[in-house]
Amino acid sequence: MLPQSTPADRFAAHALLSCAFRPFFLLAAWTAVIDLALWAGFLAAGLPLPSVPGGPVVWHVHELVFGFGLAAITGFLLTAVPEFTGAASCSARTTLTLLALWIAARIAFATSGLIGLLPAALLELAAVLLLAAIAAPPLLRDPTHRHRGFVALLGALVVALAGFHFDGLRGVYPMRWLHASVDLIMVLVLLALGRISTRIVNEGLDLLRAAGHDPGDPYRAPPPRRNLAISAICAYSVVQWLSPGSPIAGWLALSAAAGILNILNDWHRGRVLLGRWVAMLYAVHLFMAAGYCALGLSHLAGIGTASGGLHLLTIGAMSLAVFASMSIAGRIHAGWPLDERPWLPVAALMLVAAAVLRAAAGFGAPGQTGLIHASATLWIVAFVTWAVHFHPVLTRPRPDGRTDCGDYEPPETQA
């Protein structure tokens, strides 16, 4: 008699679990929606938020970084590492384990006011350590050594997360670790976009050549420019952690902004910047540079506020980078071509507007309450729109009949 499949076996065989990015990208989108809806309800009507050590602001930033952000990072790395190194994709059962840890950590942190912070600390650290254990070995074995920055970044995220919980467990306000984690995510964005932009910009240049234009040589993301910007961000993060708001931190923030803008020098190829994908990735860099510039001016001259700069980094650079990366990888690694329908740039523009409005509120513009509510509404609508459009893409089998997580191949190139 043939063995009977169990419900767990059938669930593990679902298309949603065939590639790790599928459930994690959906979770990232819906986490963005739920967390911002709860935060907006708290600000607008005083609706209760989960009681956590440090209070509502700590919950808000923590869930933005280690809820929304970590879900997107997990989905990206578990897709990118096999593509970078040729390693096998993680199994459905490994994906389920990561999902269980991530979900349990969200519940444990939300209830930490009742059960204490230790369960959340253990679960969150287990999730990040498992992600590192999966991603690091193939990256370290890669003979090109081109992707080891991701390993260092995962190690730094483990340290920041451990520091956050250590401070929380001993009753110390843990926000400094969350600010450092935002900087680490900016570094991850630069590392990831260095890979993604090479493909996207060159595809835009190819379209210009096909139309009879001469946009010059193929684009290459120059590592020295990117490494300079990353070094400046890391230096700023360390000094800001040790001496918050100091003049040295201010100058380092301005140097980080200059380094990020320097990366874009090689992007200036005329019409290529008008394409939706290139424009979206370009805007990520602009928001990141603006965020560090605002932080620097706040530290040095008291111009604006640190809140405005941080929201340019999070609501601007981080959310737009996640949106663009999920929109690109979520399609091509599910066997679909990139989505060229109008809804996608409209949703991206909503995120741009949300970042601008929230930063304006942080800088003390008139009508701060209305700006914050408008920003939250735009953010929520943008990610709901993304989740609705990508749900069938991520929950159904590949249309080409393949069961792997490889790139989309146009029909004319398939054997």
Give tens-digit pLDDT for 192-240. 998 888 888 888 888 888 888 888 888 887 788 999 999 999 999 999 9
Domain for residue 404, yes or no? no
126-140, 220-234, 264-278: which range is least confident on average?
A: 264-278
Query: For 37-89, how does the pLDDT look when each residue is reduced to its tens digit (9 = 90+)?
Result: 999 999 999 999 999 999 999 999 999 999 999 999 999 999 999 988 888 88
What single DSSP character describes residue 217?
S
CB 390 within 8 A of CB 326: yes
* High-pLDDT (> 70) share of the chain, %: 96
Q: What is the mean pLDDT of residues 304-308?
A: 86
Domain for residue 278, yes or no? yes
CB 232 within 8 A of CB 252: yes
Residue 179's pLDDT is 97
Q: Hey, what are 65's tokens?
A: 């970084």
- If one compares 9 and 24, the residue with the highest pLDDT of the two is 24
pLDDT band per the 50, 70, 90 thresholds, residue 1: very low
CB 49 within 8 A of CB 42: yes
CB 263 within 8 A of CB 281: no
Tell how far CA 319 is from the center of its chain: 6
pLDDT band per the 50, 70, 90 thresholds, residue 143: confident
* High-pLDDT (> 90) share of the chain, %: 73
Residue 13's pLDDT is 59
Instruction: Return all residues near 288 (Cβ < 8 A) that are at least 6 apart.
Output: 186, 189, 190, 260, 312, 313, 316, 317
The most confident of the ranges 142-156, 256-270, 318-332 is: 318-332
Whether residue 2 has pLDDT greater than 90: no
Spatial separation of the C-alpha atoms in residues 107 and 65, rounded to whole Å = 15
Name the residue range of residue 120's domain.
Answer: 15-210+217-397
Tell how far CA 80 is from the center of its chain: 13
Q: What is the mean pLDDT of the chain?
A: 91
Q: What is the mean pLDDT of residues 248-264?
A: 96
Residue 12's pLDDT is 52
Number of domains in the chain: 1
Instruction: Return all residues near 37 (Cβ < 8 A) that are at least 6 apart.
Output: 376, 380
Whether residue 320 has pLDDT greater than 50: yes
Query: For 322-358, how does the pLDDT look when each residue is reduced to its tens digit (9 = 90+)?
Result: 999 999 999 999 999 999 999 999 999 999 999 999 9
Domain for residue 1, yes or no? no
Q: Name the one residue in this structure whose structure tokens are 């600000």.
A: 43
Residue 220's pLDDT is 83
- If one compares 385 and 9, the residue with the highest pLDDT of the two is 385
Domain for residue 192, yes or no? yes
Domain for residue 410, yes or no? no
Single-letter code of the amino acid located at 95: T
Residue 359's pLDDT is 93
Whether residue 268 has pLDDT greater than 90: no
Residue 415's pLDDT is 47
Domain for residue 223, yes or no? yes
Domain for residue 154, yes or no? yes
Domain for residue 402, yes or no? no
Q: What is the CATH number of the domain that holds 295?
A: 1.20.210.10
Residue 10's pLDDT is 52
Query: How is 30-49 classified by DSSP, letter by letter?
Result: HHHHHHHHHHHHHHHH----
Whether residue 407 has pLDDT greater than 90: no
Whether residue 17 has pLDDT greater than 70: yes
